[in-house]
Each structure stands twice: as C-alpha cells, then as structure tokens.
C-alpha cells in the first residue's frame, strides 16, 4: 500500500464512536498514541497543552461523571483530557530561549515572541492555546485509528469539575476529553456525513 493510501485508510476509519467493549488498550499502543500527540505542531513550538490520562481506577467514575455520564467516557477502556495551558506561555518561552541560546533563532524566543505575546488579551491567549491543543487531540485520535481502535472526542463535559479533579488553575482550558477503546457497532450513530466539499473548500 502506498503511504497516502495507508493514511487515507487511517483517516477514513476514524469515526466518533460512543460505546466501547471491554477490550483493553495495550500499554504499547497507548505509548505510541501519546507519542504521536506530542509530535503535533504547536504555535511557535510553545507546546502549551497537556494531556491527563485518567488511570486511577478509584477516580475514574468521577472523571466519567465530569463527562456528563456519556457512554463514550464510561465505557471507554481509556479516557484522556486535553488541556490547553495559556498560562504557561511565559514559562515555555523561557525554556525555548534557553534551549536555542546562541543559535540564529535565539532572538525570536528571547525578545520578539515575548514582546508580541505580551500584547495578547486573556481571550486571545485562550484561543491561541486551544488551537494547538486541539491539533494534538486530532493527532491523538488519528493514532488511535492507526492502532485499529476507536475514539470519541467530547466537549460535552463540566470543565470546572475536570479542573477540580485535576487540580488545575482556572486559566487551564479543558479543550476536550477523548475516550478510546474497541468500539461496538451500536456506538456508531450513522454513516459519515459531511457538507458538500464546494461549501467548504474554495480555490481562490
């Protein structure tokens, strides 16, 4: 199979599947999936996102409950939360400035980027961090698909409950939860529907 065929198959197989069977996700698969998420691009490579993997069995039902009791969470073999951290941009820009000190790009992280970002409003920063976080979640779900597994993104959740369970500050954005595992047929609500491509793709 050509690379593009493999990729299109992975993309095509990813659906939002809302119910899973009891099959576990292997530790090896989970490690590959998480690694793929980390390789997602991020704005200025500031990587202001985190993923919280709800592994603690005792707290799992509280996490499911924070996802409004959706079966996509409660039946999922694994449940993760993608969290945007606009509040960490200054910490990360300093780390990158140190990492690239003495290289041609050093000034970008030491001076230009902090100056530009200092002008961002709280809303700008939140939107900025959410974009990169969502890309990581997307890459995560494609990696799930590449393992022959299923996933469901969920923004139907209670962000305050999630922040509390994870001891996160109010600035942390709960971008989405993702449940994953082996989907069951009734977890798929219908055929894939998309609007015609000429309503979304414009050659200009």
Question: Which parts of this chain interact with ligand FMN (CB under 6 A)?
Answer: 15-16, 18, 70, 72, 152-156, 176, 192
- Is 18 or 163 the residue whose CB approaches ligand FMN more closely? 18
Least Å distance, CB 20 to ligand FMN, is 13
Please give the residue whose beta carbon sits closest to ligand FMN in the complex: 156
- Please choose, from the candidates 74, 178, 92, the residue with its C-alpha nearest in 3D space to the C-alpha of residue 129: 92
Least Å distance, CB 130 to ligand FMN, is 10
Least Å distance, CB 22 to ligand FMN, is 20
Q: Cβ contacts of residue 49 below 8 Å, gap of 6+?
A: 42, 82, 83, 84, 85, 129, 132, 133, 136, 175
- Is 83 or 96 the residue whose CB approaches ligand FMN more closely? 83
- Is 96 or 154 the residue whose CB approaches ligand FMN more closely? 154
Least Å distance, CB 49 to ligand FMN, is 14
What does the DSSP assignment read for 4-68? HHHHHHHHHH--B---B-SPPPPHHHHHHHHHHHHTS--GGG---EEEEE---HHHHHHHHHHTT
């Amino acid at each position: 199979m050509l690379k593009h065929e493999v990729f299109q198959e992975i993309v095509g197989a990813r659906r939002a599947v809302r119910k899973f069977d009891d099959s576990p996700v292997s530790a090896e698969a989970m490690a590959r999936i998480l690694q793929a998420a980390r390789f997602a691009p991020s704005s200025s490579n500031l990587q202001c996102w985190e993923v919280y993997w709800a592994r603690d069995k005792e707290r799992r039902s509280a996490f499911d409950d924070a996802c409004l009791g959706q079966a996509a969470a409660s039946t999922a073999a694994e449940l993760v939360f993608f969290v945007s951290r606009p509040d960490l941009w200054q910490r990360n820009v300093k780390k990158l400035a140190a990492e690239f000190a003495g290289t041609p790009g050093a000034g970008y992280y030491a001076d230009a980027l902090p100056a530009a970002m200092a002008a961002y409003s709280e809303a700008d920063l939140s939107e900025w961090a959410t974009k990169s976080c969502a890309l990581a979640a997307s890459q995560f779900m494609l990696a799930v698909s590449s393992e022959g597994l299923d996933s469901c993104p969920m923004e139907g959740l209670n962000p305050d409950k999630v922040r509390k369970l994870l001891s996160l500050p109010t600035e942390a954005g709960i971008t989405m939860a993702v449940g994953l595992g082996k989907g069951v047929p009734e977890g798929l609500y219908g055929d894939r529907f998309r609007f015609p491509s000429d309503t979304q793709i414009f050659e200009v």
